Amino acid sequence: MADLAALLDDYAAECADLENLVAPLTPAQWKTPTPAPRWDIATQIAHLTWTDEVSVLAATDADAFTAFLTEAASRAFTLVDEGAEEIAETPPADLLIRWRNGREQLLAALAAVPAGTKLPWFGPPMSAASMLSARIMETWAHGQDVADALDVTRVPTARLRTVAHISVRARNYAYLVNGESGPAEEFRVELTAPDGTLWTWGPEDAPQRVTGPALDFCLVATQRRHREDTALTTEGPDADHWLGIAQAFAGPPGPGREAGQFA
């Protein structure tokens, strides 16, 4: 069972690290383009803000969240971007406060969810721990876009384990959104953590394998780096193919990044 208290701490820490990047920026710097097409730094933070606020609704008022989904059904493919772009028009100082308040509300809301409760969401219902894991992954991934926009190299942390775990668990989802059927057998994933220890998933004797730095795997699975620009290696054609379509996030396949884009 996931340690909810540890996930709460990790989410708060991931948000704090990103806030340390954006808080000192001038209003003009908030308009710096990021690698995500049409999104500047303000839009990245606005997207996180919007998602946190919607998550609070799901965690605190299931009926209201269901009503929100019904109302937004006709905009299912544009809803997220519209929300981010609208909030991004907020003056940076106010946006920073709104983001901070939203995530603090989310931390309090998820800490209060009774054990075993499933929260409504855009896809299948999820536990408080699963929602926190998703928020850690997304905050880290969009934080990477901000870091790239600012030409900053972030220090990887043990929080990457949550990002990697989601990425491994989402293997079959990646096949599904690409219109493919995933292999029946599990893959072996062996990743070197930032502290040099080994994180593993799947059978030790699996012939299909992905190995390499945890940071590289997370960058590829969140589509923030092209696999050719990493130290990841694969054994077996299925594992090799998966690494080319892996995605840790929900929704259709993203455009990813070009090989050599960050050379």
User: What is the Cα–Cα distance from 152 to 240, expressed in whole angstroms?
Assistant: 30
94: tokens are 């106010």
pLDDT tens-digit profile of 104-144?
999 999 999 999 999 999 989 999 999 999 999 999 999 99
What interhelical angle do 128-150 and 160-169 show, nearest 10? 110
Torsion sign across C-alpha atoms 103, 153, 210, 188 = negative
Q: If you search the block for the tokens 């997220």, which residue do you land on?
A: 80
Across the chain, mean pLDDT equals 96
Least confident of 26-35, 161-170, 185-194, 246-255: 246-255
63: tokens are 């009926």
pLDDT at 259: 95
Domain architecture of the chain: domains with CATH: 4-150 (1.20.120.450), 159-245 (3.30.1050)
User: What is the Cα–Cα distance from 139 to 128, expressed in whole angstroms?
Assistant: 16
Q: What percent of the chain has pLDDT over 90?
A: 90
